Amino acid sequence: MVVDGSTRVFALVGHPVKRSLSPAMHNELFRRRGVNAIYVALEVDPSAAESVPAAVRTLGLGGVNLTVPFKERVIPLLDELHPGAAAAGAVNVVVNRSGRLIGHNTDGEGYVRALVEEMGVGPEGQDVGILGAGGTGRAVAAAVGARGARSVTLYNRTLDRAERAVAALRGGFPATHFEARPLEPGAFDQAHQLVVNCTAAAAGEVVQALPIEQLRPGSIWTDANYYLADPPQLAACAARGIRVQRGIGMLMHQGALSFTLFTGAPVGVEAIRGVLDIGGW
């Protein structure tokens, strides 16, 4: 593809972004689908989060993906919020429609699709523990609530953040019991059938210290961070007969959904898997 004056530009905005697979994924999909567009990774200081929407408009970007903490802080500056993003209280995709910025969230749906594809089960009727109440954790909480989880417990190092998230989620999913707890060993409930680690790498020691001895064999432990070589607790859970899931499937499914929002062209996760050349995931 030749980059010219008609080439649309999309970007990942966050900190850090150097390890992201998103540019490789989207650029190869653009090439294969004949879309005149490029995708770049932009390292932006979190203190400038509120400037991102104006930059998207000024530079005429076609859209952006966002990482933490941008996912929550751009919301007041957008023109429209998709219902799924409003329920999650977080945005990971912003689409620019002729200067009108629309916020979406594909994290939660991407996670649920990966869970069903890889594990053969969904969150329906399950007791779910989510580690981290940031943008990703809230998106996953909203998605499993929408799919009929029996209960969702949000754990966070700063308890009031989890409490605010739970207060917002309760109104949208009244059939699911939501609860907030501190992210610490004494508060962790080992009765969860599904645990999703949505914390950043910095919380690794805290997550590693959580008790898992009584988690039931056959339950599922997911780590949403696809880039970690040795995610906390994953090996220990596998050794105890707990089913484990890495975050690469979530990345691929949310990436497919993002590509469709950017271009209007549906793309299956099989195409994403082929682009990233991932086997045995």
DSSP 165-227: HHHHHHHH-TTSEEEEEESSGGG--TT-SEEEE---GGGHHHHHTS--TTSPTT-EEEE--TT
Q: Is the pLDDT of residue 230 over 60?
A: yes
Rg (CA), the chain: 18
Residues 135 and 218 in one domain: yes
What percent of the chain has a predicted confidence (pLDDT) above 90?
90
Shared-domain flag, residues 192 and 168 = yes
Looking at the fold, whether 261 and 153 belong to one and the same domain comes out as: no
Which residue range is the domain that position 75 belongs to? 8-105+249-276
Across the range 32-53, mean pLDDT stands at 96
Residue 86 pLDDT > 50, yes or no? yes
Question: Tell me, what's the pLDDT at 266?
Answer: 93
Q: Are residues 116 and 232 in the same domain?
A: yes
Whether 277 shows a pLDDT value over 70: the answer reads no
Residue 3 in any domain: the answer is no
Residues 234 and 271 in one domain: no
Structure confidence at residue 279 (pLDDT):
43
142: domain CATH number is: 3.40.50.720
In CATH, what number is assigned to the domain containing residue 259? 3.40.50.10860
Q: How many domains does the chain have?
A: 2
Is 187 inside a domain boundary?
Answer: yes
In-domain check, residue 206 = yes
Taking CA atoms, 36 is separated from 28, 100, 261, in Å, by: 11, 21, 15
Question: Which residues have CB under 8 Å from 228's CB, separation 6+?
Answer: 201
- Residues 130, 170, single domain; the answer is yes
pLDDT at 184 over 70: yes
Average pLDDT along the chain? 95
Provide the annotated active-site residues: 71
pLDDT score for 280: 41
Residue 230 belongs to a domain: yes
pLDDT of 62: 98
97 and 166 inside one domain: no
In this structure, are 133 and 164 located in the same domain? yes
- Return the bridge partners of 244, or none: 221
What is the mean predicted confidence (pLDDT) over 3-27?
A: 94
User: Cα(188)–Cα(182) distance, rounded to whole angstroms?
Assistant: 8
What integer pLDDT is reported at residue 213 of this predicted model?
Answer: 96
Residue 274 has pLDDT above 90, yes or no: no
Same domain, 89 and 147: no
Residue 173 lies in a domain: yes
Q: Residue range 262-266: average pLDDT?
A: 96
- Averaged pLDDT for residues 113-127: 97
- 197 pLDDT band, cuts 50/70/90, is very high
Q: Are residues 31 and 69 in the same domain?
A: yes
Residue 1 reports pLDDT greater than 80:
no
The answer to the question of residue 281 being in a domain is no
> Does the model's pTM come out above 0.85?
yes
Q: Which long-range contacts (CB under 8 A, 24 or more apart) does 236-239 make?
A: 236/212, 237/212
Answer yes or no: do 123 and 203 share one domain. yes
pLDDT at 215 over 50: yes
- Residue 220 belongs to a domain: yes
Round to whole Å and give the CA distance between 17 and 43. 6
Residues 115, 231 within the same domain? yes
Binned at pLDDT 50, 70 and 90, residue 281 comes out as very low
Is the per-residue pLDDT at 208 higher than 90? yes
Q: Could you tell me if residue 2 is inside a domain?
A: no
pLDDT at 59 over 80: yes
